Amino acid sequence: MNKKIIACCSLVGILLSLSCQKSFLNVQTTTPTPSNDPSVANDLVTGAYSSLIFIDAGGGWNYDTHGISFIAATNIMSDDADKGSFALDQPGINDLDNFTETSGNPFVAALWNGYYAGIARTNNALNALAVAAIDSATVRRLNAEMRFIRGYYYFNLVRFFGGVPIVLYVPSGPRAANTDTTLVTRPSAADVYSKVIIPDLQFAMDNLPLKGQAIKGRITKGAAETLLAKVNMYLKNWQQVFDLTKDVINSGQYSLVSDYSTIWKEVGDNNAESIFEIQTGQFNNSDAGIPLYSECQGPRNNGATWSNPSFPYAPTGDLGWGFCTPSLSLINAYEANDPRKIATIIFVNHDSSTTLWDGFVIPPGSGVQSPYYNYKAYHSEKLESFFNNRDRQIKNVHILRYAEVLLMNAEAATQLGGDAMTPLSQVRARVGLTTASATQMDVWNERRIELAMEHDRFFDIVRQGRAAQVMQAAGKNFKAGINELLPIPGTQIALSGGRLVQNPGY
């Protein structure tokens, strides 16, 4: 009997020892490290670029950089466009359009979340580049690309919100904000310009190649220089604006394209005028544009069946959600015979049907929600690249183009007493218009028309110090001293433990 016991005990002993192999517990795959695998840093850089298109796959409802929240807080808020769709659709955008938004506005929250998520991508990429086994020249260029995107994101944030927390590194953990309160404390807007935006763009400008030497789609020296000029324009450093724009003009990299109406079509992608353009295209057998960018601005029906049998995607349907409709204020701002009017705005005929440039037929006005739609956002599902994912239609978004450089140069010239006429008339001549004078107001008006629906109008009138006047003239309930900035999202204030201070009036 004793033998049996000993035998059993030793058997069990063996079993016990078998089950305690250490490696048994190491099941987690660890993240590849950039020091071992150069593709990690490269991929993180591409991932940061990708944040220009989208952050969350849900379509920019929660994390947005250039989707519906961006459109709402730039075009729709300005006097160039109205919310569109039908009255009760998306009350949050209604609130932005009517300046009744509160700190709980989900679109405002999506912008805050989206831009900081994008900034985190650039910071992570910069971290990885610091240890990556890549040659130093490439690392310098990639660093510069990342810092351009980061600077651009902060520039948008500071224009939306004023001073925002400066985050230039990857926080260590969930309680990082307890040890570094700057992560949830608002500096002044001036600090954001001087501590992040200008140094980042300066670095980018100093370390990036000219457009002619860069791969299409990558950030160039010209982009950094133009954005730095624009930043200085907001800071009213007119000499810098003038010098930087002059430098871009003299670089010989850019020129105006002859047909204004092609700029926003696929044929205009990365044209001679393009300086900084968000690239979109096909990915994984599907469209991968900015979520909803075209769809949310597409003409929307009003109970009528539309008939376009040669458009196989929606032969009987409409084109989108009908947001961001050009305003009468904008329509009335065009000079007679300015071809930019019909290149920018889809005018829906009330009594007969309307045919778009690709042959798509919109029925008479009564079957359509709005008489005006944004042509610059229109994507042809027939004549342009389309892989049947309407939510992600391919549509490059032009953030900086050469015409704006000329107009910035002209504006600086009006301030400095230089030659504003030459650059201004260059812009106007392209569309067959003559130029009588080149006052500050002329340049401002030209900016509005040339860059209409290109996401700058609202920022411009705030920068120009006439937002209340312009908006009230357009019949908007704009409150001076309040509505120049968006409210800080209430959730973020709560999560900061109250450290984030709300903008006045919200």
Partner 1 sequence: MKKSLTIGSPRSYAIKKFLLVMKLSFLLVLLGSLQVSATVKGQTDITLKLDNTAISKVFTNIEKQGVYRFLYNSRLKDIQEQVSIDVSNTGIKEVLNKIFEGKDLTYKLLENNLIVVLSRLPALQDIQVTGKITGASGEILSGVSVTLKGTSRGTTTDNNGSFTLTVPENGTLVVSYIGYVDQEIPVNSQSVLNIKMEQSSKALDQVVVVGYGSQRKIDVTGATATVKGSELVKQPVLTATQAMQGKVAGVQITSSGQPGSQPSVRIRGTGSLIGGAEPLYVVDGIITSDITNINTADIVNVDILKDASSTAIYGARGSNGVILISTKQGARGKMQISYSGNVGIQSATHLVKMANAKQYADYVSAATFGITTVPVTGVSTNWYDQILRNAVEQDHSITVSGASDNTKYLLSVGYTNDQGIVINNDFKRLTVRTNDEFKLANNLRLGIMASYTNGVNQNVNLGTAYNDAYRAAPIIPGRVNGKYGNTSLYQNVGNPILDINNNNYHATDNRLQGNAFLEYKPVGWLTLRSSIGADWDNVVDRGYIYQFFADTATFITPGGNQSNPNSTLSFTTANSLHWVWDNTITFNKRFGDHNFTLLVGTTSEQISSTSSYASVQGVPADPNLWYLHNGNRALPFTNDGFGTNQTRNSYIGRLNYSLLDRYLLTANFRADASSNFPAKNRWGYFPSVGVGWVITKEDFMQSQKIFDLLKLRGSWGQAGNDFTQAGAAGYTLTLLQNLPYYFGGGSSSGSAISQIIDKDLKWETTTEYDFALEFSTLSSRLTGELSYYSKIVKNALINVLVPSTLGSFNPSGGQGYVLTNAASVQNRGVEISLNWHDKIKKDFSYSIGGNITFNQNQVVGLNGGQPYIDGPIGANQPYVTKTNNGQPIGSFYVQKVIGVFQSLAEVDAYTDKNGRILQSGAQPGDFKYEYNANGQLDSVYAGSYQPKAYYGANIALNYKSFDLSIGGYGTMGGKIYNGKKAFRQSLLDNIEASTATNQWTNANHSQTEPRANGGNLPASTYYIESGSYFRINNINIGYTLPEAILQKTRVITRLRVYVAAQNPFTFTKYSGFTPELQPPTPTSASLTNAPPSGSSPTSAGIELNAYPTVRTISLGVNIGF
Q: Between residue 331 and residue 350, which ones bind partner 1 under the rule CB under 8 A?
A: none
Count of residues binding partner 1 (CB under 8 A)? Answer: 111
434: contact with partner 1 by CB under 8 A: no
In DSSP notation, 465-481 reads: T-HHHHHHHTT--PPTT
Residue 300 CA to residue 306 CA, distance in Å, equals 10
Residue numbers 343-382 binding partner 1 by CB under 8 A: none
Beta strands in 214-314 (DSSP E): 274-278, 282-283, 286-287
Q: How far is the CB of 354 from partner 1 (least distance, A)?
A: 17
- For residue 501, CA distances in Å to 73, 164, 165, 172, 488 come to 21, 10, 11, 24, 8
Binding pattern for the stretch 160-199 against partner 1, x by CB under 8 A and - elsewhere: -----x-x--xxxxxxxxx----xx---------------
Site map 67..106 versus partner 1, x via CB under 8 A: -------------------x-xx-xx---------x-xxx
State the Cα–Cα distance between residues 148 and 110, nearest whole angstrom. 22
Residue from the set 280, 327, 374, 393 that interacts with partner 1 by CB under 8 A: 280
Nearest-angstrom CA–CA distance, 306 and 361: 8
- Min dist CB 483 to partner 1, Å, is 16
Out of 136, 258, 284, 352, the residue judged to bind partner 1 by CB under 8 A: 284
Residue 49, phi then psi, degrees to nearest 5: -55, -40
* CB contact at 8 A, 490 and 104: yes
- Three-state DSSP at 424 gives helix
Element (H, E) at 42: helix 38-50
Residue 321 makes contact with partner 1 by CB under 8 A: yes
Reading the block at residue 351, the tokens are 């009594």
Nearer to partner 1, 322 or 423 (CB): 322
Cα three-residue angle 268-270-276, rounded to 5 degrees: 120
Site for partner 1 in 286-305 (CB under 8 A): 286-288, 300-305
Nearer to partner 1, 470 or 500 (CB): 500
Minimum separation from the CB atom of position 158 to partner 1 (A): 14
How many angstroms separate the first and last alpha carbons of the chain? 85
Span 20-39, contacts to partner 1 by CB under 8 A:
20, 24-32
Near partner 1 by CB under 8 A: residue from 140, 218, 246, 463: 218
387 binds partner 1 (CB under 8 A): yes
Least distance from partner 1 to the Cβ atom of residue 283, Å: 4
Q: Which of positions 463-492 make contact with partner 1 (CB under 8 A)?
A: 489-492
- Please, which residue, 127 or 261, has the CB nearer to partner 1? 127
CB of 411 to partner 1, least distance (A): 32
| Residue 280 Cβ vs partner 1, minimum distance, rounded to whole Å | 7
- Kindly report the backbone phi and psi dihedral angles of residue 398, in degrees, each rounded to the nearest multiple of 5, phi listed first: -90, 110
Using CA atoms in the order 342, 343, 346, 348, what is the torsion angle rounded to 10 degrees? 30
Q: Pick out residues in 38-67 that bind partner 1 (CB under 8 A).
A: 40, 43-53, 55-58, 61-63
Of positions 121, 230, 395, 457, contacts partner 1 by CB under 8 A: 121
Smallest separation, CB 195 to partner 1 (Å): 15
Neighbours of 87 (CB within 10 A): 7
Shortest distance, position 102 Cβ to partner 1, whole Å: 7
12 binds partner 1 (CB under 8 A): yes
CB of 187 to partner 1, least distance (A): 12
What three-state secondary structure class fits 361? strand
> Per CB under 8 A, does 219 bind partner 1?
no
> Taking a C-beta distance cutoff of 8 angstroms, is the pair 232, 241 a contact?
yes
Among 119, 208, 228, 449, binds partner 1 (CB under 8 A): 119
Please state the closest distance from residue 166 (CB atom) to partner 1, in A. 9
Q: Which stretch binds partner 1 (CB under 8 A): 328-336, 341-349, 461-469, 494-502?
A: 494-502
Q: What are phi and psi of 454, to 5 degrees?
A: -110, 25
Separation CA 164–CA 108 (nearest Å)? 14
Toward partner 1, which CB reaches closer, 154 or 238? 154
- The H or E element containing residue 12 is helix 2-18
Stretch that binds partner 1, among 112-120, 221-229, 347-355, 435-443 (CB under 8 A): 112-120
Subset of 233-262 contacting partner 1 (CB under 8 A) = none
Q: Tell me whether residue 260 or residue 311 sits nearer to partner 1 (CB atom).
A: 311
The Cα 82–Cα 77 span in angstroms is: 7
Nearest to 66, CA basis, from 8, 7, 114, 128: 114
Residue 27's identity, in one-letter code, is V
What minimum distance in Å lies between the beta carbon of 65 and partner 1? 12
State the Cα–Cα distance between residues 453 and 264, nearest whole angstrom.
11
